Amino acid sequence: MPFVMNYAFFVYLLSLISFSLARTFTVENNCSYTVWPAIYTGSSGSTPDQATGWEAQPYTSVSFSVPDDWASGRIWGRTACDFSNSSTGQTCLSGSCSGGLECTAPGDTPATLAEWTLSGGSADYYDVSLVDGFNVPLAITNNVGCSVASCPVDLDAICPTALIGPTNTSGAVLGCESACDANLSGDASNSSNCCTGSYGTAATCTSSGVEYYSFFKGNCPDAYAYAYDESSGTALWTCDASLNANYTLTFCPPTDISNSTASASATGTSGAAGATTAAASPSAAQLAPAACSLKPKGSAEQPTYTSTFRNAVRRMLHAL
């Protein structure tokens, strides 16, 4: 019966499609210390098939499935956590979130962020962001030859005094704040460090106006060092969505990891061309600026969700 056959074939096709709708993400902890990874999905769409927080002992990894329309997704690491007192809001010395082990909100600054939006038209967008500061070195690699996004250098160890974030009882620095979060300008609502107020566009918030930009970008050239860093060409990365890349996030990767470790194949493309177009686009400049989450040091209060990445993707899509 033709109808039955067609229906069966349709179901078969559907099963093939749903196979290709998932990516495999691997999160590995190559740090000598325990990291508690956390996942937050900033969009209302689909979410990874993984808890939003877990304990990662040194030199262990987990793999899970991520829908290929995962948007405004971020993964970060928390350090020095203690979940034994459920009434305590701040459970980790860096990267803490509400919800305890399993996060229900973005984490506290400072934290190095790995960000993805896989629904960006024909491309995956991803980056390592220092816009909310730094706590743990990390890198995003993939298995299809696209660029490596990274901040593999331990910025805690060399953090400028003015940016020092949480410390543990031995005095070790566990996080390094952005100039925005460190409140260096004294007015988060009108600050070139935060790209807010009169500095709220790509045209008015250039990297030269961001204090300590060269500290972050110089040490980690393949990371996002301030809200409008797409114009550097080495902040927001893209990978052809049809390649169905699987991604690996490594905490404490080798320090020589960089985009140049990606294969020389032409399959992967950097975000440089698109980003330049986006930054130059007048319509892009009219979009809302990326927010900086300002939080007093040591406070358990949750910062507002920083929409840096989402806005960058919106700017890019607008320009495409």
- Which residues are near ligand NAG by CB under 6 A? 24, 28, 30, 33, 59, 85, 87-88, 143-144, 168-170, 172, 183, 186, 190, 197-198, 221, 233-234, 244, 246, 250, 253-254, 258-260, 270, 272, 294, 296
139 or 284, CB closer to ligand NAG? 139
6 or 65, CB closer to ligand NAG? 65
CB of 164 to ligand NAG, least distance (A): 13
130 or 272, CB closer to ligand NAG? 272
CB of 129 to ligand NAG, least distance (A): 16
| Torsion angle defined by CA atoms of residues 309, 315, 318 and 320, in that order, rounded to the nearest 10 degrees | -80
53 or 166, CB closer to ligand NAG? 166
38 or 140, CB closer to ligand NAG? 140
2 or 296, CB closer to ligand NAG? 296
3 state SS for the chain: CHHHHHHHHHHHHHHHHHHHCEEEEEEEECCCCCEEEEEEECCCCCCCCCCCECCECCCEEEEEEEECCCCCEEEEEEEEECCCCCCCCCCEEECCCCCCCCCCCCCCCCCCEEEEEEEECCEEEEEEECCCCECCCEEEEECCCCCCEEECCCCCCCCCHHHECCECCCCCECCECCCCCCCCCCCCCCCCCCCCHHHCCCCCCCHHHCCCHHHHHHHCCCCECCCCHHHHCCCCEEEEHHHCCCEEEEECCCCCCCHHHCCCCCCCECCHHHHHHHHHCHHHHCCCCCCCCCCCCCCCCCCCCCCHHHHHHHHHHHHC
The CA angle 125-240-140, to the nearest 5 degrees, is 45
Tokens coding 264: 């020389």
186 or 282, CB closer to ligand NAG? 186
CB of 39 to ligand NAG, least distance (A): 18
73 or 175, CB closer to ligand NAG? 175
CB of 4 to ligand NAG, least distance (A): 30
CB of 60 to ligand NAG, least distance (A): 9
CB of 15 to ligand NAG, least distance (A): 14
